[in-house]
Amino acid sequence: MAVRVRSLNLRGIDYPLLLTVAVLIVVGLVMVYSASFGVEMATEGRPTTQYLVRQAEWAVLGGIALVVLALVDYRTWRRFSIPIMAAALGILVLLLVVRAGGDAESGQPTAQRWLLGNSVQPSEMVKLAVVIYIADWLASKGEKIRQLTYGMVPFAILLGIITGLIILQPNFSTAFLIVCTAVAMFFVAGADIRQLLIGGLVGGASLVALVRTSTYRWNRVVTFIEDPLRDPLGKGFQTVRAIYALQSGGLLGVGLGHSVQKMGALYAPHTDAIFAIIGEELGLVGTLAVMGLYVAFAYRGFRIAIRCADPFGSLIATGVTSWLILQALLHMAVVTATVPFTGITLPFVSFGGSSLVASMAAVGLLLSVSRGAAVAPAGGRGR
């Protein structure tokens, strides 16, 4: 398999995008150290820099992946989109094979999302594989995706297989994120609005069915609807503590490293609740600054998509940008009690090697598209 590597000429590299990602990663390293520096580290006798060092190691690995994918011509991956997707599906099936049973009392199945112990979470890499494959599939259909039997139906079946395997892990938030990303790509590729409306109705009904038939998911929805504040020490504990962290931060925060909620009140403060710690320690100013970085990322990413004349490259840029921005929005929405609670990382910021490496690799792919757009006339196809 020959992989075409661009010359080391850095023309077309989107430096504002690269700088934005670098700042987010630095913010992430600082906040991971601050959020993980709590009483648990001292009482268990672990070094206070344990999570920081591990995150830094993953950041180096992610940096290598970013550079490699930025230098490799993004069009190379189109030739391998089917093997890439097949490998991703194979890994998801493998996870189901080694999956254990569930907790009969709580109704919540035991999650099997990791390989090699707790080192690698394959679903993070699956997101990138889905973006590459969907971009290739949509680009190859052209205007025919407007046809119901040629566009919408195969697209729905393909998406159903991918997300079905992820939901069985179970990992509902990742499946939801992949669906939203794929639909955004489908829309940009030029899908008919009626197709999207039909897909929205069917997808919405499927979403309700999946939530209603799962005890733990339904309990989260009920808690959200009934107001988590009614049960602050029970089902609403995590949500209430996240809100309290944001509230106590005020305008400027309580100071870096001085969070109270990370001391055992918030579950996984360095991963699923890190935005709450940012709000508590850095205040409203800190949270707005982080949100501003994601806005800048979205602007640069969609700008690359618009400037790329190649439909495949434009869809790649759309998919990567949509995935990372939607994931950031979902994380923030969970922390601010805008949606029912679910565990999901904040891209580039939360602790998590698989998430960080996958996100940085995706940025490398995005930068490769920006290099391609620099040597071709602007004006991508679709919306």
Mean pLDDT for back-to-back runs of 10 residues, the chain (383 residues):
56 90 97 78 62 93 96 93 91 74 45 58 87 92 74 81 81 86 89 76 74 68 67 70 89 90 81 92 96 97 93 95 96 88 89 92 96 58 56
Q: Please report the pLDDT score of residue 43 as a whole number.
A: 45
Q: Please report the pLDDT score of residue 140 as a whole number.
A: 87
Q: Please report the pLDDT score of residue 170 as a whole number.
A: 74
DSSP H or E segment with residue 292:
helix 274-307
Q: Please report the pLDDT score of residue 257 as a whole number.
A: 86
Give the span between the Cα atoms of 336 and 329, in whole angstroms: 10
Q: Please report the pLDDT score of residue 327 as a whole number.
A: 95
Determine the 3-state secondary structure of 103 from DSSP: strand
Q: Name 88's Cβ contacts closer than 8 Å, sequence gap at least 6.
A: 122, 125, 126, 129, 130, 162
Determine the 3-state secondary structure of 16 from DSSP: helix
Put simply, whether the predicted model's pTM sits higher than 0.75 gets the answer: yes
Inter-residue contact 238 to 342 (CB < 8 Å): no
Q: Please report the pLDDT score of residue 174 as a whole number.
A: 86
Question: What's the N-to-C CA distance of the chain in angstroms?
Answer: 33
In angstroms, what CA-CA distances link 34 with 102, 257, 283, 347?
A: 34, 5, 14, 17
Give the span between the Cα atoms of 303 and 297, in whole angstroms: 10
Q: Please report the pLDDT score of residue 224 as a whole number.
A: 67
Q: Report the half-sphere exposure of 260 (CA within 13 A, side-chain side).
A: 10
In 3D, which of 369, 366, 294, 376 has the Cα closest to residue 330? Answer: 294
Which amino acid, residue 330?
L
Q: Please report the pLDDT score of residue 284 as a whole number.
A: 95
Q: Please report the pLDDT score of residue 110 as a whole number.
A: 47
